Chains A and B, each alone.
Chain A
Amino acid sequence: MAKTLMKGNEAIAVAAMMGGLDAYFGYPITPQNEVSEYLAKHLLPNGKVFLQAESEVAAINMVYGAAAAGKRVMTSSSSPGIALKQEGISYIAAAELPCVIVSVMRGGPGLGGIQPSQSDYYQATRGGGNGDYQVIVFAPETIQETIDTLKEAFDIADYYRNPVMVLVDGLIGQMMESVDLEKQSKKRFLPNKDWAVSGTKNHPGRNIVNSLFLDPQQLENHNIHLQEKYQLIKKNETKTEVFGIDDADYVIVAYGTMARICRSAIEILEEKGIHVGMIRPISLWPYPKAIFTEINPYCKGILCTEMSMGQMLDDVLIANNGRLPVGFYGRTGGMVPDPEEVVEAILNFSNRVVR
């Protein structure tokens, strides 16, 4: 159980290799370049594939090609680059290909800034590509959790034949923490990839990887099939951390870096005699809606906190379903709040109620 001090981005790269990464395709973008730089050094000597693509668009399509061949593939980028990948992600989900996408969020919209933010929640969970599809999205809060998530992400992607996104922000990417790399992750039984392309001499018949179904009934059937898969994922992969909601005066909902800030805020509020619980979604899609009904009925309100102008807020409102007052506190543009700001937001909760 030896611990190592690691930078977030580097840990992502190391964890991906430990998760069985066969091929990485990416394009430089701040603040995640250390991911590809580590992989540039270590993949080729290990007989794996590394390629810096000419754009994020090209990279996600290279991912599609390698994933179609049944390999474990990853790409990483940040907000504007993830925007470029939306077409490719829709095609990957439609063709039921597995892959891992790491998104290291920075300020937006547009070129935005390079400091951390959480303003790509919509982009990750609602998707910018066309059609009815979902990406499985995990949002770890520590580098350890990021490593654990990454290691398991490839299995999850393979199991469901779906893209999996690991969503962090620039702070997690750039900071250093001590981690245990050897921690075992959950093992799943994975079927053979007999759908993958490899040449007709290697399998019966012809394998075709495709997302085009011109016949409307066929396309609807395909969509129904995808939705059945998503129902299964909702049942099996919803992940959340919860504490103190049985008797809390307020409940904070936060993920990633924001959740860590809120933990400090909760300690400060405890000293002031205000008991605050937390719901920390670890899977953003599927979103842990069910747990919201277990918040005690005397709770004075739910405060949704994000480093954005309010994106997860929609899912909080949906999950709350009108039961309790919902407030919002956020900073964005690369501004990372102090715990004191969250304390202030709870103390002034009635000012923050979303109408």
Chain B
Amino acid sequence: MPKGKTIFDYERCKGCLLCVEFCPQKILYQDKTTLNRAGYNIIKVSDPDKCIGCAFCAIMCPDSVITVEVDK
């Protein structure tokens, strides 16, 4: 059971890649095949089981795209 879980509001994403850069588990990547309505490639989680719920991605996101949940 992963410690953390990320939920993305894809339409807010501007593809800046800060979340990808700062994820310590390196489990975020930009999906070059999917665009949101604004024309940006959205972010996907490659290995959700490895999420430790540090919320670094959400902290760095300038556009409040990511909600992070953790085990109680």
A and B touch in the complex (CB under 8 A): no
Chain B residues packing against A (C-beta within 8 Å): none
